[in-house]
Amino acid sequence: MRPYLAILSARFRALLQYRAAAVAGFGTQLVWGLIRMMIFDAFYASSAATQPLSREHAVTYVWLGQALFAMLPIQVDADVRNLVRSGSVAYELLRPVDLYGLWYARALAARTAPTILRAVPMFVVAGIFFGLEAPPSLGAGLGWLATLAGALLVGCAFMTLCTVLLVWTVSGDGLARWAPQVTYVLSGMVLPIPFFPAWARPVVEALPFRGMVDVPARIYVGDIQDPLRELGLQLGWTFALVILGRFLLGRAVQRLEIQGG
Amino acid sequence: MGAVAGLVSRRHREVPALDCVSFTIEPGELVGYIGPNGAGKSTTIKVLSGILVPDGGTVTVLGRVPWRERVAHVARIGVVFGQRTQLLWDLPVVESFDLLREIYRTDRDEHARARAELTELLDLGPLLDTPARQLSLGQRMRCDLAASLLHAPDILFLDEPTIGLDATSKLAVRDFVKRLNRERGTTVILTTHDLDDVEALCSRVIVIGKGRILSDGSLEQLRSGVTRERWLLVDLEDETAPVSDPDATLIRRDGRRACLRFDPERVPAAALIARISAAHRIGDLLLQPPPIDEVVARLYEKLL
């Protein structure tokens, strides 16, 4: 575990070098949260029909998403992308560690470090001013924490898979643009999954993306009562994505091209 | 049009990057591995370091096949790619070193000892707390060298370690590599385009071109394999006097200094010198083999 923990801590310290970026990220998430909140306000004010989530739950859902935004695997890590593009990925292969583990640790570091920096102030600000409510019960709170960990694991497995796929392409830009859009929509970050049309929901609910935002948020507000089943799904998907990623990485290393001589 | 044509149809052509390349390097050797651009130098380094899997052939390094036992293999080697850095861009150099300690699972005391030693040898003291992105190229290269040696590898691969460095930094890198090889007995394999590196460091030179070995031996052997000729530099008292000899060719004339090329099998150096000093008043004389750059350029030309 030592090498992987060290990567995590190095990443965390690198991030602390950029305090302005953390402040800017927080500001952006706050503004987006307010916009999304206003959209929901307008929506609830103009509709008399019963909605799948109450207004209070929807607002809390929005703020949870904003607070934990940095955890969402919507960006192939810039450092790994640069490694592949410049050919410095060679140095990664020169380390006496399991390459998949190394990249998974990088993904984990890239998700947790900024999240910790941004989530805490967001919970405070949104909790005091903008209607982020506390979980209704201790069970919901614990279920949230457990599925939040699950969301991190499945998100990092997806991210590492993207990183592996990057090795198969030259610049990885196509993938780096495509992956976020899918994750963004299917995780519930744009629109909570309960608002999706009935025909789409079976598909969306079967995919791993929902475990990254929708599941923990709805357990938090008490809309989903069975955290264990959801956690099982998250871990199942994590397992599947790790197996696939490992398989593809094994193949990729056999035919790796290192850019630039 | 090339890039546009590539959009419509791409033709592929198989190019063997390495072909019949075979050599053995003994522990403690310091070997130069040179060749023109695209010759297959970096490919060889990548195969030997276990990050590229060849389509065929056998490679054994320290008793292991590099790509089959990658993790065990890379723990015993160090690699520096001159054009790339392994330091964490945003963090002080010392943090990169700490991270490497964890990745190589080096014992804390051993790491501290290696770090202190390398810091002294490479004069890194003032650089350790500087983020890598603020280092000059020469400083960065010294730090990269240290980073690749913290785990005390048995073999060090240097891929163009002096590229882009100023004269002082080049000398510092050369001195260090020489000491490392002599004092620690680390085997060093060096690729470079700077033949002064080779001349200063390597007891053995392997020349590769178009994926094949062209020459393997000492610098002297390389020279005599390509050409027997010698250069005679003469400083004349009279700046305007024309110099000529039936058995020698004038290559250059800079004011008083004339540079003549001759084949010692056709005319012994003593005879040539005697003839020229009989015809001219001479200030100074220097007899030397052609510069290594010249020799290697001629070897590369044969490839075309």
Task: Tell me the DSSP string of B207-235.
Answer: EEETTEEEEEE-HHHHHHHH---EEEEEE
Euclidean distance between the first and final Cα of chain B, in Å?
Answer: 26
Does the pLDDT at position B192 exceed 70?
yes
Residues B143 and B166 occupy one common structural domain:
yes
Contact criterion met (CB < 8 Å) for A261 and B79: no
Residues B97 and B242 occupy one common structural domain:
no
| The pair of three-digit structure tokens given for residue A32, joined into one six-digit string | 């987006």
Nearest CB to B51; choose among A97, A258, A260:
A258
Q: Is residue B104 part of a domain?
A: yes
- A121 contacts chain B (CB < 8 A): no
pLDDT tier at B94, thresholds 50, 70, 90:
very high
The alpha-carbon gap from A11 to the nearest alpha carbon of chain B, in Å, equals: 9
Residues B288 and B150 occupy one common structural domain:
no
| Domains identified in chain B, total number | 2
Among residues B217, B245, B261, the one where a domain terminates is B217
For B181, counting Cβ atoms within 10 Å of its Cβ (0-12 exposed, 13-18 middle, 19+ buried), the class is: buried
Q: Is residue B287 part of a domain?
A: yes
Residues B152 and B20 occupy one common structural domain:
yes
Residues B159 and B86 occupy one common structural domain:
yes
What does the pLDDT average to over B135-157?
A: 95
**Residue that the structure tokens 């965390």 belong to:** A12
Residues B104-127: pLDDT tens digits?
999 999 999 999 999 999 999 999
Q: Is residue B3 part of a domain?
A: no
Does the pLDDT at position B54 exceed 60?
yes
Range of the domain at B134: 11-217
Three-class secondary structure of residue B295 per DSSP: helix
Can you list the alpha helix ranges (DSSP code H) found in A68-225? 78-86, 89-93, 99-129, 138-168, 173-186, 201-206, 214-221
The letter for the amino acid at B44 is T
ipTM above 0.90, yes or no: no
Residue B55: CB partners within 8 Å, gap ≥ 6?
none
Among residues B217, B247, B264, the one where a domain terminates is B217
| Inter-residue contact B34 to B207 (CB < 8 Å) | yes
Three-class secondary structure of residue B258 per DSSP: strand
Contact criterion met (CB < 8 Å) for B74 and A94: yes
Nearest CB to A10; choose among B42, B95, B105:
B95
Q: Give the chain B residue nearest A12 (alpha carbons).
A: B91
The alpha-carbon gap from A10 to the nearest alpha carbon of chain B, in Å, equals: 7
Residues B242 and B133 occupy one common structural domain:
no
Of B246, B82, B250, B221, the C-alpha closest to B162 is B82
B234, β-bridge pairs = B258, B285
Q: pLDDT tens, position by position, for chain A (261 residues)?
A: 788 888 888 887 887 777 788 889 899 999 999 999 999 999 999 988 888 899 999 999 999 999 999 899 887 777 777 777 777 777 888 999 988 998 898 899 888 888 888 899 999 999 999 999 999 999 999 999 999 999 999 999 999 998 888 877 766 677 777 887 889 999 999 999 999 999 999 999 999 999 999 999 999 999 998 899 999 999 999 999 999 999 998 888 776 655 554
- A18 contacts chain B (CB < 8 A): yes
Of B38, B40, B47, B49, the C-alpha closest to B19 is B40
Residues B255 and B210 occupy one common structural domain:
no
Residues B244 and B275 occupy one common structural domain:
yes
Indicate which CATH number applies to the domain containing B206: 3.40.50.300
Triad A11, A163, A178: Cα angle to 5°: 115
- A50 contacts chain B (CB < 8 A): no
What does the pLDDT average to over B283-292?
A: 88
Residues B81 and B208 occupy one common structural domain:
yes
Residues B164 and B257 occupy one common structural domain:
no
| The pair of three-digit structure tokens given for residue B87, joined into one six-digit string | 């330091």
Of B199, B182, B155, B132, the C-alpha closest to B62 is B155
Residues B248-284: pLDDT tens digits?
888 888 888 999 999 988 999 999 999 988 888 888 9
Q: Is residue B290 part of a domain?
A: yes
Among residues B217, B246, B265, the one where a domain terminates is B217
Q: Is residue B5 part of a domain?
A: no
Does the pLDDT at position B225 exceed 90?
no
For B13, counting Cβ atoms within 10 Å of its Cβ (0-12 exposed, 13-18 middle, 19+ buried), the class is: exposed
Three-class secondary structure of residue B204 per DSSP: strand
The alpha-carbon gap from A124 to the nearest alpha carbon of chain B, in Å, equals: 30
Nearest CB to A261; choose among B42, B77, B85:
B42
- pTM score, whole prediction: 0.84
Q: Is residue B278 part of a domain?
A: yes
The alpha-carbon gap from B300 to the nearest alpha carbon of chain A, in Å, equals: 19
Q: Is residue B234 part of a domain?
A: yes
Based on its alpha-carbon atoms, the radius of gyration of chain A, rounded to whole angstroms, reads 19
Indicate which CATH number applies to the domain containing B240: 3.30.70
Residues B191 and B268 occupy one common structural domain:
no
Q: Which pLDDT belongs to residue A255?
A: 67
Residues B89 and B188 occupy one common structural domain:
yes
